[in-house]
Amino acid sequence: MRLEVDRRKRTIRALPERDEDLYFLYLLISPGDILRGWTVREIKPEGAKEGVRRKVFLAIRVEQLEFHRFRGSLRVRGVVVEGEAEGVKGRRHTFDVAPGREVELVKPEEYPMELVDEVAKMASLSLPRLLLVSIDGDEAAIAHVTALGVEVLATLERGGGRAAEAESQEELLGPFLREVAKAVEQYRLRLRPDRVVVAGPQLYVEMALAYIKGDAVPQSSGGLAGVYEFQRGGLFEEYRKAMGAEVLERALRLAAERPELVAVGVEAVKEAAAQGRVEAAVVADEALKENASEFAEVLRLIYAARGSVKIAPAEGEAGQMLMAMGGVVAVLRY
């Protein structure tokens, strides 16, 4: 995603280039922002019986966002505050933000602009889009792996088969592997990933590669368990750090050893931030978007005391833990 930030004017010009970029743009847009850009709207000239859909340049004051993580859909609703077309000011309009369409945001004074830098760092760690096939002798899980996280697309279980009559593992697993390969090819054509990766115990990976064209990643487990093992692998290490996993792991260790150095939940973190005690915090994206105004104040206080903030997707492993802990956790200086 291309970002141009003018801190003096508090503006952000953003050009999403891939579906994944819509997530990072979603993190940047909040209710109360002004959003400008080209959009399509039905215009009804005076005296005309029917309206005509036209491409127009509008600005809205944002009221609501609707984001679908794995569908590549970001819709932003609000009231029109600028527009050359007659009769549109004061009306409601919905922007369908899509890759290739540039938009401009104007942020209110209370918004911590340092958060833009953090989101830009996240966006810069662009992962290849993977179609992951995690397989063992009993189960295969097919998942779509992107910068937004991991979406499990299908799980397939091997049927009972005729084990007694099979002369080899290949003969026993052949029908199952052909079924998996057929499903993988359907998803590959639909999703067009950058790479196909086959992961699991080495024996089953080698057998699967006779049916599926992809890169081998031997690991201890396959199936659904193997998907989660793959997520914890080296490919994701830098991205896990950027998404706050390291801060959360540190907070969990301190909670057992020195609980006075950990704040859990928005109220506790806000109190610690007001005292300048927050060294690092990690917040779940879902909590951040649901309580944007409250978190804006919390983050402003953290940044004012030179603390850092990470954002974790709520659907990921770290994000799920955070949501159960009130949406935010902080490591304190003292």
Q: Kindly report the CATH number assigned to the domain that includes residue 48.
A: 2.30.30.870
What are 126's two structure tokens?
Answer: 């662009």
- Specify whether 6 is located in the same domain as 113: yes
* Structural domain count, the chain: 3
Sorted by sequence, the CB contacts under 8 Å of residue 157 that are 6+ apart come out as 138, 139
Which tens digit of pLDDT belongs to each residue from 236-256? 776 777 778 889 999 999 999
- Specify whether 139 is located in the same domain as 118: no
- Specify whether 120 is located in the same domain as 14: yes
End residue of a domain, out of 205, 238, 271: 238
Which tens digit of pLDDT belongs to each residue from 94-136? 999 999 999 999 999 989 999 998 888 888 776 788 999 999 9
Taking the CA atoms of 61, 99, 101 and 8 in sequence, report the sign of the dihedral they define: positive
- Specify whether 47 is located in the same domain as 154: no
Euclidean distance between CA atoms 251 and 284, whole angstroms: 14
- Specify whether 84 is located in the same domain as 147: no
- Specify whether 134 is located in the same domain as 229: yes
Q: Are strands 103-106 and 92-97 parallel, antiparallel or unpaired?
A: unpaired
pLDDT score of 45 = 66
Euclidean distance between CA atoms 315 and 306, whole angstroms: 28
Euclidean distance between CA atoms 111 and 298, whole angstroms: 10
User: Which residue range(s) make up the domain with 268?
Assistant: 244-332
Q: Kindly report the CATH number assigned to the domain that includes residue 251.
A: 3.30.1330.30
Over the chain, what HEC string results?
CEEEEECCCCEEEEECCCCCHHHHHHHHCCCCCEEEEEEEEEECCCCCCCCEEEEEEEEEEEEEEEEECCCCEEEEEEEEEEECCCCCCCCEEEEEECCCCCEEEECCCCCCCHHHHHHHHHHHCCCCCEEEEEECCCEEEEEEEECCEEEEEEEEECCCCCCCCCCCHHHHHHHHHHHHHHHHHHHHHHHCCCEEEEEECHHHHHHHCCCCCCEEEECCCCHHHHHHHHHCCHHHHHHHHHCCHHHHHHHHHHHHHCHHHEEECHHHHHHHHHCCCEEEEEEEHHHHHHCHHHHHHHHHHHHHCCCEEEEECCCCHHHHHHHHCCCEEEEECC
Per-residue pLDDT of the chain (334 residues; tens, 9 = 90+): 899 999 999 999 999 988 888 999 999 999 999 999 999 888 776 666 777 888 899 999 999 999 987 677 899 999 999 987 777 889 999 999 999 999 999 999 989 999 998 888 888 776 788 999 999 999 999 999 887 778 899 999 997 654 444 456 667 788 999 999 999 999 999 999 989 999 999 999 999 999 999 999 999 999 999 998 998 777 677 677 777 888 999 999 999 999 999 999 999 999 999 999 999 999 999 999 888 888 989 999 999 999 999 998 887 778 889 999 999 999 999 9
End residue of a domain, out of 76, 95, 124: 124
Q: Kindly report the CATH number assigned to the domain that includes residue 136.
A: 3.30.420.60
Euclidean distance between CA atoms 207 and 46, whole angstroms: 69
- Specify whether 7 is located in the same domain as 119: yes
